[in-house]
């Protein structure tokens, strides 16, 4: 296979056969891979280079330190971040969260072996379909919400990087083409191979899974049910801090839901400065004509998520209780 011979070879990954590159993250390359011993089916492997200057990860202005010192700091930060990402994922077990299969490292790379989501990013589906119907959007965001509920209420984890690029999915296994291709002479014997058509038939768009715990944080220990690092002496600002960090994910869910429904994000500007101002003020609109036919109930839910004051913003419980979300449960149980 010509494609396979173009795949890079990584030391320590001999057990896996890299099939194709699936994603270019900011800090990583992600490949689809097969197990040469067939113990697992296919997996995704996130390969992170250990020695790479990345002032983003250091978080201090470039030029503050001499280059070699910045490099040392960057490498140490990266190690700590990867180990944290892996440690957090190790403790998670939910159908809507990508599972960690294994972690290893060589001299130059970290390898995070993950459950494969063959459908790729939700982002690409938004681009492809322009926007989602209300039913399909609800189907997607409810799954994201179930994962967030598990993170916030059961695991004490905040994700902090919820966005369409980090929401992956399993497509519907097979949907026959709605418009059969005109038959060519000679391919009579060929079956309709079908194609992936997102819709609400046979399980909607498939299963949505949250990926990328690179920015996530543990806010309390799920074993002891206490805030991290403190036992019994928790100051009010820590409790508040916990609530604030959870509300970060809720804001992001509001942005995702908005984008699903109309195909463009709630906040946008060519200038980063103007954009930042708009976000800070919570300055967005349900732009006509794109939002004219979208239900008031959906808009109400979004406005409770895109609320600037984190104290007033919906929690995951309130989100799941909203009539627009609950609509689905009744419908799907009625249909089942
Ligand atoms: P980064 O921290 O660099 O953003 P991610 O974990 O988000 O890394 O992975 C980058 C991209 O790789 C994702 O946006 C997605 O396109 C792809 N990807 C990551 N994990 C998987 C997976 N388990 N299955 C399929 N594709 C994945
Ligand atoms: Mg990512």
CB of 122 closer than 6 A to ligand 1? no
How many other C-beta atoms are found inside a 10 Å radius of the C-beta of residue 273? 8
> Which uninterrupted H or E stretch holds 236?
helix 236-262
161 is catalytic: yes
Ligand 1 pocket check for 242: Cβ under 6 Å: no
Does the CB atom of residue 49 touch ligand 1 within 6 A?
no
Q: Would you state the structure tokens that stand for residue 255, as one six-digit string?
A: 């942005």
Asked if 99 contacts 114 with a C-beta cutoff of 8 angstroms, the reply is yes
Q: What number of other Cβ atoms are within 10 A of residue 144's Cβ? A: 23
Residue of 35, 135, 161, 221 with catalytic role: 161
78 lines ligand 1 (CB under 6 A): no
Q: How far is the CA of 272 from the centre of ligand 1 (A)?
A: 25
What is the best residue among 26, 30, 111, 162 to mutate for testing ligand 1's pocket, by most ligand atoms within 8 Å of CB?
A: 30
Whole-number pLDDT of residue 336: 44
Can you read off the two tokens belonging to residue 105?
A: 């490292």
- For a pocket test of ligand 1, which of 25, 41, 47 has the largest count of ligand atoms closer than 8 A to its C-beta? 25
Q: Shortest CA distance to 19 belongs to which of 37, 35, 7, 2?
A: 7
Residue reference for tokens 């967030």: 148
121 secondary structure, DSSP code: B
Q: Which of 74, 75, 100 is nearest to 86 (CA)?
A: 100
Alpha-carbon distances of 59 from 53, 175, 206, 252, rounded to whole Å: 12, 47, 38, 22
- Give the Å distance between the CA of 165 and the centre of ligand 1: 8
**CB under 5 Å of ion ligand 2: residues:** 25, 166, 212
For residue 335, cis peptide bond before it (omega within 30 degrees of 0):
no
Q: Is 83 left (phi over 0), alpha (psi -120 to 50) or beta?
A: alpha
pLDDT in tens, 164-216: 999 998 876 544 444 455 556 655 554 544 444 454 444 456 899 999 999 99
Q: What is the distance in A from the centroid of ligand 2 to the CA of 158?
A: 15
pLDDT tens across the length of the chain (336 residues): 455 567 888 999 999 999 999 987 667 899 999 988 877 789 999 999 988 766 555 556 666 777 778 888 888 888 999 999 999 999 999 999 999 999 999 999 999 999 999 989 998 888 888 889 999 999 999 999 999 999 999 999 999 999 999 999 887 654 444 445 555 665 555 454 444 445 444 445 689 999 999 999 999 888 777 777 666 778 888 888 888 999 999 999 999 999 999 999 999 999 999 999 999 999 999 999 999 999 999 999 999 999 999 999 999 999 999 999 998 645 544 544
Q: How many CA atoms lie within 13 A of 222 on its CB side?
A: 16
Rounded Cα distance, 273 and 160, in Å? 21
Mutate-to-test residue for ligand 1 from 24, 171, 212, 256, highest number of ligand atoms within 8 A of CB: 212
Model's pTM, two decimal places? 0.86
d(Cα 33, Cα 40) in Å, to the nearest integer?
A: 10
């Amino acid at each position: 296979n010509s494609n396979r011979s173009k795949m890079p070879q990584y030391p320590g990954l001999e057990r896996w056969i890299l099939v194709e590159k699936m994603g270019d993250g900011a800090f990583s390359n992600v490949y689809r891979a097969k197990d040469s011993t067939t113990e697992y089916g296919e997996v995704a492997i996130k390969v992170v280079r250990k020695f790479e200057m990345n002032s983003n990860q250091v978080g201090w202005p470039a030029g503050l330190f001499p280059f070699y010192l910045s490099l040392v700091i960057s490498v140490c930060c990266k190690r700590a971040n990867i180990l944290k990402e892996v440690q957090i994922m190790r403790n998670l077990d939910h159908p809507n969260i990508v599972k960690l299969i294994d972690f290893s490292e060589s001299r130059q790379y970290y390898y995070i072996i993950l459950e494969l989501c063959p459908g790729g990013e939700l982002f690409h589906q938004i681009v492809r379909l322009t926007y989602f119907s209300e039913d399909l959007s609800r189907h997607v965001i409810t799954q994201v919400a179930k994962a967030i509920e598990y993170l916030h209420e059961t695991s004490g984890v905040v994700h902090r990087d919820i966005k369409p690029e980090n929401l992956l999915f399993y497509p519907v296994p097979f949907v026959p083409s709605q418009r059969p291709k005109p038959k060519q002479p000679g391919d009579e014997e060929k079956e309709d191979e079908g194609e992936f058509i997102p819709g609400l038939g046979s399980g909607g768009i498939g299963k949505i899974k949250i990926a990328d715990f690179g920015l996530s944080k543990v806010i309390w220990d799920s074993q002891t049910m206490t805030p991290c690092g403190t036992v019994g002496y928790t100051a009010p600002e820590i409790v508040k801090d916990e609530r604030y960090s959870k509300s970060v994910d809720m804001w992001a869910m509001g942005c995702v839901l908005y984008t699903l429904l109309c195909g463009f994000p709630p906040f946008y500007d060519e200038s980063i400065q103007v954009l930042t101002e708009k976000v800070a003020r919570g300055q967005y609109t349900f732009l006509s004509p794109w939002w004219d036919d979208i239900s008031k109930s959906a808009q109400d839910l979004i406005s409770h998520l895109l609320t600037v004051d984190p104290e007033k913003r919906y929690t995951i419980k309130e989100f799941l209780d909203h009539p627009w979300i609950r609509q689905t449960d009744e419908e799907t149980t009625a249909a089942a």
